Structure 1
Amino acid sequence: MTTEMNKGIRLDKIDQQTVYWLMTDARGVSAPDIADGLNVSAGTIRNRINQLEENGIIRGYSADIDFQRAEGRLVNLYICTIPVAEREPLAHDVRSIPGVINVRELMSGKRNLHVKAVGENVESLQRISHALAEMGIEIEEEHIIRSESDLPYIPFGPDGEQQPRGPTDFISLAGNANVIEITIAEDAPVVKKSIQQSVEDGVLADEILIISIERGDRILTPQGQTVLQADDIVTLLTRGVDTEEALVAFKNSKQSIESETL
């Protein structure tokens, strides 16, 4: 490896593919596995890994956790704005909030702090929101994460090969609750009605909370006056209500009849 002060540390093909395969599965892939495809010894790969760690390129190894399976926990993303001058110390303080598992600082002046946190339920996520606000951090948006995937960096890998990792979906929750994503059908009962009107008309049950709306390339924050449209992708939080009953408002009449028949 050659050090270039202004450009970081130069990686050759062996370094790059070592990083690639470790990103694919750091626990499952071994030095001999990596070495086989590069026509080098396993000892060479072990030495390269040690050098990558010593130079701070490999900063650590983390587990990919499915929190939904861990007693139905929720993962939430808080998109925040903090003064640039206070970004580093505030980001450090945020790490001390129970439930926070990732803090990302951005170089921009707005929405420059992303916080990922895990909670047992919606109430625990609200407590994290309150803790952020108490620190003087402005929360611009917050979203429950439905799924996420980590992928290896393709330019470092063998040509044409990709080893994606499976997404983690948050669907069934503890306490008879569910997070559901559905595309609104063209003639669904909620189409062209505001969320508030749908509730007042009895079309949308009180136990159903719309937590996000994806419309084209935009993500909308639901409000009472938000009018729902066909082809909107809505994410729902339901509690204490039958799943099929919860979805009737978002399906067309034919889909509803088929669901009842099943």
Structure 2
Amino acid sequence: MSTAIEAPVESPKPGGNVPLIELKGVGKSYGNIIALKDINLRVGAGEVCGVLGDNGAGKSTLIKIMAGLHQQSEGQLLVDGEECTFGSPKDALAKGIATVYQDLAVVGLMPVWRNFFLGQELRKGPLRALDTKSMRATTKEELFKMGIDLPDVDAPISSLSGGQRQCVAIARAIFFGARVLILDEPTAALGVKQSGMVLRYISAAKAQGFGVVFITHNPHHAHLVGDHFVLLNRGRQKLDCTYDEISLDELTQQMAGGDELETLNHELRRGK
């Protein structure tokens, strides 16, 4: 499988200073439980926003709001500068907001081309039979456009590596009209080589004008491709800065807990 970008795909039109998607003062409460509070985030065309946080930081809730699964309790969600309310994931998709979840929502025993068109199959003729020839050809062509040279799209998708499956899922989202990709921990379960494949693919999507929200708990991966970083901690936003404003060491320190880590380190050293 090649990761070189062989040919460009049609890219979203850059919107100047208007973000593709923006959150302003967004919060989410479940009864008396505050899951998110005063979150601000913006992603423009050709930008990667790294959203970092440990388990329980609020990343999943943030994803669900942007994906249309949940509505925020407060604040605004804007697409192309206009306030929107998503009642379902279909509403988000209609605006070009696509989410690639960690489990990928693929059927392992089905071939790659069936997974590429899963739920959106092409049909032909009066009996509405599956147009398998077109779907095979389109899958191979679209993957190749995005730099994935897959010899056999009839192979079960479970036979692909984790990185390859991630790339197929991202290419599928782009083909069906995504302008903003929300990637849920795409490198969490991958080794170094496979993670590198996905990070190259994120960089390629960015170069072609797509907006990417990269959800991760890995500051090294975020810093490699990110233009902007948001750090969540217990539902609050603890960091909001650009690539030029923070080094990898500083980002790692913030992710690790900053002052809390220093205090713990001091306590442990005193005990020796």
Place the TM-score, normalised by the shorter chain, in its bin. under 0.3
TM-score, normalized by length of structure 2?
Answer: 0.26
Write 1 or 2 for the structure with the bigger share of helix. 2
Whichever of the two has the greater Rg, that structure is 1
Report which structure shows greater RCO (CA 8 Å, sep ≥6).
2
